[in-house]
Amino acid sequence: MNDLKDRLKSARKAANKTQAEVAKAVGMTQPSYHQLESGKSVASTFLPLIADYLGVSSLWLQTGSDKYSTKTPNAAELLAQQLKQFTNEGKLSPEDLSFINNTIQHLVKLKESQDAVANGTAPDKKSA
């Protein structure tokens, strides 16, 4: 994949996104995005945002030379993607999302507490 247009299309297809979805996510018009993917435009200030949205390296997208062509999404990004997909498909109600959000907040507080204990920075319960 030597051309920007090929890398853009490949990354978009791998992310299972449409041109309109990518354009909207990064704040550009779909026709402008299409110009990039068709090779009519060969540069854009939006490329780093597009790379981030599609989960690929900005350097790879722009030049094709980065040996680390994809970034690994962290657990929070993967969870957010799944929740968005389930919500869009009508598989989650507002109550479900509220429950999930409360559970995540609880887990974050628990993890912070465990980290504080492990680092010796937890407040002494006797002085609290």
pLDDT digits (tens, 9 = 90+) for 55-111: 888 888 888 876 545 555 556 666 776 777 777 778 878 888 888 878 888 887 888
Q: Is the CB of residue 26 less than 8 Å from the CB of residue 50?
A: yes
User: How far is 58 from 47, CA to CA, in rounded Å?
Assistant: 7
Q: Given this model, what pLDDT does residue 113 score? A: 83
SS3 17: coil
Residue with tokens 């996510």: 25
Q: Is the CB of residue 39 less than 8 Å from the CB of residue 4?
A: yes
User: How far is 74 from 81, CA to CA, in rounded Å?
Assistant: 11
SS3 93: coil
Q: Given this model, what pLDDT does residue 72 score? A: 52
pLDDT tens digits for range 9-32:
999 998 999 999 999 999 999 999
Angle of CA points 21, 25, 30, to nearest 5°: 55
Average pLDDT score over the chain: 81
Answer whether residue 128 shows pLDDT above 50. no
Q: Is the CB of residue 33 less than 8 Å from the CB of residue 22?
A: yes
pTM of this prediction? 0.54
